[in-house]
Amino acid sequence: MSLARNAIAAAITVTFMLPVAAATSIETQASRANHSTTGDQSETNPFFVSAFTTPFGAVPFDRITPEHFQPAFERGMAEHESEIEVIANQAAAPTFENTIAALERSGRQLDRVSMVFFNLTSANSNEAIRAIQTEMAPRLAAHQNAVLLNPALFARVQAVYANRAGAGLSAEQVRVVERYHLQFVRAGAALDETERQRVAAISERLASLGTSFQQNLMKDTDAWVMLLDETDMTGIPAALTAAAAAEAKARGHEGKFAITLQRPSVEPFLSFSPRRDLREKAWRAWIARGDNNDAEDNKAIIAETVALRAERAKIMGYASHAEFVLEDSMAQTPEAALDLMRLVWEPALTRAKEERADMQALIDAAGGDHALQGWDWRYYAEKVRKQRFDLSQDEIRPYFQLDRFIEAQFYVAKRLFGLNFTERKDIPVYHPSVRVWEVTSRDGAHIGLFYGDYFARQGKSGGAWMSSYRVQERFDGEVTPHVVNVMNIPAPPAGQAATMSLDDAITLFHELGHGLHGLLSNVSYPSIAGTSVSRDFVEFPAQILEHYVLQPQILSQFATHVETGASLPVELQQRLIASRTFNQGFATVEYLASGFVDMDFHALSHDATMNLDVAAFEAQSLARIHLIPEIPMRHRSPHFAHIFAGGYSAGYYSYLWSEVLDSDGFDAFVETSDLFHPEVAERLHRYVFSAGNLRPPMQAYKAFRGREPVVEPLLRNRGF
């Protein structure tokens, strides 16, 4: 049973690794409308086989059409149900083999169709896919719940768990037993019947609240538009102007220019528009999403969500939702996460105030007679950046060619882990622009397949992520991993090489880090393979790879100009590297403000959630940390989809937590003066990239680093 084979959806970032959008997919509330299954497909449905017959058993995308999914799901669920019945009701006494290994072996049909389908829902969706998703999402959730809350099955898992020490199991098998047991317990399996029913009802209600939150946010975001004339677009970069024109045309206002509340539209507008009145208008609308006291207002949903989560935690025996969530994380307690946030907060706030003073000086010098406001920050930050580093995106971009940086990331993977990537043209893909590489080891052994889907197009979700089509395992014979990286780089005109921003180049490396975490997995059991680790640890392998992009030896070799072929001049490299700590006070403060509010909401006891005034609570939370009014939270509560419609409740701190690890971890290489030091790389491979969830994360980190992580490298990298 796939307990943990979820896609890792990375949040794309503007500077460093600051998360943007809710990563976890939202289960859509089902209309149980019946999609008729399309006839008898027993001969033709590509999923109706025990293994794909393509090279390496790759997904036969060339033969899969949308009408194959529904029957494959139906059959997969039915098969899994009968497998579970057999495991739960067998007469033999519970053993690892007849219970835990049997669970690992079960649900294969369902896993296979799910992994293909849920990759397509985000990477290559369409009406047919969306209809199946609406139908299937709640049914799959109910299916999963029925397994985890099956009392006979849980009794067997519990028996194996209780006897795990004396059963002659390997260390890995013990770990797998413990993870299964924990998963059942945290789903509510150990509660009495009444409590189980209440927890199930709460989960169901929370799912529909999350859906409403997300839909309100979408409506509120889409409803607002600022239509401008060409004269209003002075100072706006050409690419944004073109996008604004296209948006206006799509909305039936050809010849006008539309600024919307989508981040890629409003954020550059705030950065480049000299029109202070228009910036204020857009900024005020942007920070008020979900908070307009109308039909799309999210505050009542937040109050109910927070109360239900606290109630569920109380039933499970915890003081708060945060304590419940963090128990199964690297941080382990809300206090540990808060300690880190507080440590970074003070220097970040101090720096943000300095940044504010720098910008005010610029305003004053230019004869402006106003104080800097929230809608001015990005605009004047750009001016200071230009003044201080003399850098513009137009100057940098031609040096960041996608193909060259794909070579660069493979070079890093080879130097660190001995991997070779060979492009294959015989593997089926779901879109002609998707590329596939076979990955082999130093000694030529097959490791797995790596898919790259790099260009933005209709039907693809925003952002970037890594996911799997097949997860590594070996307990029933060797199964090699098939992983995919998905990005949204603007496709170049036909015949031209694709270039990207520096942030995209960093994201490319980030996602390869997740990809390598999947590819290098070297465990026996699939439920603990690859990226199946805790949320505040999983970004570590991805974020440590980011550090390689701005190394002079990588830039000199791979940052070559798309037209002239010249290497990025050393002087420009230096300015680029120096500019990375610019405006980090702002970036850190807006991120952490959201992190504190997330933790405050979820640290409430059940009693304290009665009659919660969401607006007042947010204001009090921010007053406690002395947030300055010119910087709003990166995500204010009424549009904080990460925590109210995604999987990040009491977990927004995770990005910072992982950043402690990647900053400190990369220093292990820096200290040797060799960015590919073989022994450091070998430990990183052994204890992190290949180890899946074999060990608790702190144990894994210490085995790699020789000690616990320290926070100083993070502070230094952010320029504090």
Residue listed under structure tokens 């970074």: 344
Q: What is the nearest approach in angstroms of Zn ion to the Cβ of residue 372?
A: 33
Nearer to Zn ion by Cβ, of 10 and 326: the residue is 10
Which range touches Zn ion (CB under 5 A), out of 3-11, 184-192, 290-298, 331-339?
3-11
Which range touches Zn ion (CB under 5 A), out of 2-10, 152-160, 323-331, 635-643?
2-10
Say whether residue 656 binds Zn ion (CB under 5 A).
no
Nearer to Zn ion by Cβ, of 536 and 539: the residue is 539
Check if the beta carbon of residue 443 is closer than 8 Å to that of residue 466.
no
Residue listed under structure tokens 């940098």: 396
Both tokens of 499, joined, read: 């270039």
Both tokens of 191, joined, read: 């509660």
DSSP designation for 54: S
Q: At what angle do helices 127-148 and 193-223 cross, to 10 degrees?
A: 160
Sole binder of Zn ion in the list 1, 3, 4, 10 (CB under 5 A): 10
Which residues does 698 contact at the CB level (< 8 Å), separation at least 6? 330, 708
Which range touches Zn ion (CB under 5 A), out of 8-16, 92-100, 250-258, 319-327?
8-16
Residues in 418-477 at the binding interface with Zn ion, rule: CB under 5 A: none
Q: Is 511 a catalytic residue?
A: yes
Strands 257-260 and 8-10: unpaired
Check if the beta carbon of residue 399 is closer than 8 Å to that of residue 568.
yes
Say whether residue 313 binds Zn ion (CB under 5 A).
no
Q: What is the nearest approach in angstroms of Zn ion to the Cβ of residue 486?
A: 12
Largest CA distance in the chain: 86
Start-to-end Cα distance in the chain: 46
Q: Which residue is nearest to Zn ion (CB)?
A: 10
Check if the beta carbon of residue 562 is closer than 8 Å to that of residue 499.
yes
Both tokens of 712, joined, read: 């100083």
Which range touches Zn ion (CB under 5 A), out of 91-99, 268-276, 439-447, 534-542?
534-542
DSSP designation for 424: E
Q: What is the nearest approach in angstroms of Zn ion to the Cβ of residue 520?
A: 16
Say whether residue 542 binds Zn ion (CB under 5 A).
yes
Residue listed under structure tokens 């980030």: 510
Nearer to Zn ion by Cβ, of 11 and 153: the residue is 11
DSSP designation for 233: G
Question: How many residues make contact with Zn ion (CB under 5 A)?
Answer: 3
Which range touches Zn ion (CB under 5 A), out of 7-15, 188-196, 585-593, 678-686?
7-15
Of 474, 472, 470, nearest to 436 (Cα)? 470
Q: What is the nearest approach in angstroms of Zn ion to the Cβ of residue 21?
A: 13
Both tokens of 152, joined, read: 């006979």
Nearer to Zn ion by Cβ, of 236 and 542: the residue is 542
Q: What is the nearest approach in angstroms of Zn ion to the Cβ of residue 463?
A: 10
Q: What is the nearest approach in angstroms of Zn ion to the Cβ of residue 6?
A: 13
Which residues does 340 contact at the CB level (< 8 Å), separation at least 6? 331, 653, 656, 657, 660, 711
Nearer to Zn ion by Cβ, of 20 and 500: the residue is 20
DSSP 450-498: EEEEEE--TT--SSEEEEEEE--B-BTB-B--EEEEEEEEPPPPTTS--
Both tokens of 504, joined, read: 């995209």
Which range touches Zn ion (CB under 5 A), out of 10-18, 83-91, 259-267, 550-558?
10-18
Q: Which of 67, 438, 511, 659 is catalytic?
A: 511
Q: What is the nearest approach in angstroms of Zn ion to the Cβ of residue 22?
A: 14
Q: What is the nearest approach in angstroms of Zn ion to the Cβ of residue 700?
A: 17
Strands 435-440 and 446-455: antiparallel
The residue ranges that bind Zn ion (CB under 5 A) are: 10, 539, 542
Enumerate the active-site residues.
Answer: 511
